[in-house]
Every structure is written in C-alpha cells, then in structure tokens.
Amino acid sequence: MAQPELRGTTILAVLDDNGSTVAGDGQVTMGQAVVMKHSARKVRRIYKDKVIVGFAGATADAFTLFERFEAKLEEFKGNLVRSSVELAKDWRLDKYLRRLEALMIAADAEKLLILTGTGDVIEPDDGIAAIGSGGTYALAAARALKRNTDLSAEAICEKSMQVASEICVYTNGNLTIESLSREETKS
C-alpha cells in the first residue's frame, strides 16, 4: 500500500529596493483531507545568514537540497546565482537528486531565484516569486500590492500570504517570515 502524499505549502518571496523577504506557511497536509502539522518551518536562513531559502515539496528532499545548496554557497563564496546554477545542474543530472520532489526559492539581499529539478534557475522580472499549492494566490496578491501600494517587501509578503491562506486549503496563516536588508549584508 502506497503512503499518502504529504503536501501543502505556500512560499512567497518579494524583492524591493531595500532587500528581500521570503515567507512560508506552516501547514503540512496528508492526502486530501488531513492536516498533519500546523507549524512546519519551510523558510530558513543559510550561509552565514546571508541567504534565505524556502521549499515546497517533500520535507526530506528539501533538507537534502538545503544541505547541497549550502555546500555550493560555501564553494562559490556566497555567489547566489553561480551556486544556484551549479545546484540545478547537479539536481537535473544526478541519478539520486533528480528523483527529489521539491521546488526551492533562494534569495539574498539583491537577487531572487526559483530553482527546479528540471535544471531551471528563474529570476522573476518583477522581483516576486511563489511556489507551492497556494503560490498562485500569493503571487497574484503580492503583484497587486507591489504595483498599487508603498508597502515594504515584508508587509507585502505577510498580507499576500494571508490572502493565500484564506483561499487555498493547503495553506495556513502560521507564517515564517525572513528578511534580508541590503544594509545588513554590506557588513
């Protein structure tokens, strides 16, 4: 008998002139109807607290990717783009890694990227990215807020994730929000 699929994630990232913010909800759902956990932490800082990552997908797979990504950041001295490209290459070509079922958002104070197992490293045009089951809802709300308000990246993330949690049954309002300012990372 196959194990029920664990799912339920929304990760949103917003980049503005001051830096970046990544937010994630805390819900983990098993199958179609059972909420297994309300307070999962799917967003965290890595590489000397200078990079924020958020994941959608299988938790064990995400932790494997976090470890590999942090090793790439160490190897390339914190260069987010180079580390992301190298991880995406490994992810796509490695027999073990390509079976991982996860997506990842990575941000430093100046760049925001989506990484996929198909080898994609995508830098969104508008400085907003979202993944996971509620990602499209959070993305739509964030775009509307960024275009029509003067809210900070952090405020846009918080409000947009709240909207997503009101629409997507796989997203809750128990948020983890991490921000990096350009001033903070200059030191």
Q: What residues act catalytically?
A: 9
- Other Cβ atoms less than 10 A from the Cβ of 187: the count is 4
Q: How far are the Cα atoms of 35, 112, 161, 186 from residue 174, in angstroms, in the given order?
A: 13, 23, 9, 31
Query: Coil, helix or strand for 159?
Result: helix
The amino acid present at 123, given as its one-letter code, is E
In the β-sheet with 19-24, what is the strand arrangement from edge to edge? 128-132, 10-16, 19-24, 176-181
> Judging by beta carbons within 10 Å of its beta carbon (0-12, 13-18, 19+), is residue 128 exposed, middle or buried?
buried
Report d(CA 79, CA 48) in Å as an integer. Answer: 13
